[in-house]
Structure 1
Amino acid sequence: MNNTDTPVTVIGLGLMGQALAGAFLKAGHPTTVWNRTASKADGLVARGARLAPTVGDAVRAGSLTVICVTDYQAVRELFGTSDVELDGTTLVNLTSGDSAQARETARWAEQRGARYLDGAVMAVPPAVGTPEAVILHSGPQADFDAHKPTLDALGTVTHLGADHGLASLYDVAGLAMMWSVLNAWLQGTALLRTAGVDAATYAPFARRIAAGVAEWLPGYAEQIDSGSFPAEVSALETDARAMAHLIEESEAVGVNAELPKLFKAMADRSIAAGNGGKQYPVLIEEFSRPGTD
């Protein structure tokens, strides 16, 4: 079979599931779908998809089944019934969950004779099927390689490693970046609005700052991986003084200072531990400890 001859099954037809099935159809793959509410398949059926009457029938339609449902418990409930034969199939689970659930579900699937890849979609549904959609996968390399030509229909597919939990960890690490950048931008926007500067005016400047900070990451990563934090640019104690200035300015103009206070509390703990003369990435030691309530 060539790439577009490969039959694919998609289980779960929320907005993301419909986008996944639509991308396979657009690439020419025979596509079988199943959803608890069958009417969600109407648009896909009109485009050439086959609606399976049961989950078991859907899995039997091909050797590759892509899952995108509510949570990992739903995966186990759907595929744990007696009429679903998993032996010999490959499950690609793009359901959101945590790394422990991914590893547990991998063991559960493998005990039933299935090959299993866990994954995460780093894109909104309209981007699926384009290069902008990054689809993360973790699990055995051989299983990923066997199905990569088919999975390529979804976007830019990436294999992270054999540990089934990696896709989930990368997913939440990406969310941490997203919310941190957005919250920092909102803090700055709130500050500038007190002087009559609107968000649209500030946004290009903020974008340049974010891009500039991103350029520091490879060098900072080297410090973290080596465990050595020489103050090549700025010492943490200098950064802490700037954080204090941010807090003072926020409070002076009536802007919420909770976020910069959090930054400074972590920096202060690190400085108290003797890290004041080291560079900012030394804070990895604070981030690597359990939080306190």
Structure 2
Amino acid sequence: MSRSCCGGREELNGFALSAEGNDAEIIRRGVEFVGRNPSGCAVLLDFDGTLAHVVDHPDDAAALPESVEAIVRLIPLVGRVALVSGRPVADLRSRIEVDGLLYSGLYGLEHAIGAGEIGVDPKAAAWIPEVAMVTEAAIEWAASADAELDGIVIEGKGLSVTLHYRMTADHALAHEVVADWARGEAARTGMRVIFGKLNVELVPPIDSDKGSAADELIAGMDSCLYIGDDCGDLPAFDAIRRWGRDSLVLAVQSSELPADVGEKADAIIGGPQGVARLLGQVAESLD
């Protein structure tokens, strides 16, 4: 059984856990791929589920130290290294701040380099008051929800709002109810709905996603290594394939890996630990 990216049931997917031997081959392939032209290679990384384990509460997420160390080493060795995430840039920098690291936050609505000024899509900025009202409505709705929906967490991000239901007792029921509420708000406000791992997000109706973010980040590069784990990464997968240059697209294994993501990736690597080993060995090979 599998979970798709269209908002279906949350279930264990059918992909086998990546064995150590399989990871070894993927890592060998990744080292070889980046090593062919390191100065022309963009390394684009998701955060949650890729550099950090998925956790019950979004505030508790932390990048694996080994991945952070590898990123620091990689920045001067490859064309560019970027985080591509649904989190705001300020949130990402509070978890991993590295000189020279590129940040693309909120599905490309925000961007920054290192500790530099955060740029915001002006079209999205106009939606800040509406998003604030939807965030307040979500908080009020969650507070008044039935007891079986206890555990819903509302994450206001300024330019979007995410409803997490990971800590509810019945994920299938919570998904149905949360998705219905989000669709209703989308119909009322014009915002878009994005489905993630045990969460539903409302974002402004701007033509921006991880695909458009990837388009900007790979411009001028000769190759791209992209690593992600969720439905929001699929537009980036597609953008990189449309680009038509050398690419290696990896999905990150977990019990919640959406079937669509695993099927569209070139390979599936064994969790954030596997990602850390890959990044570390790429850096080691280039030092």
> TM-score by structure 1 length?
0.25
> TM-score by structure 2 length?
0.26
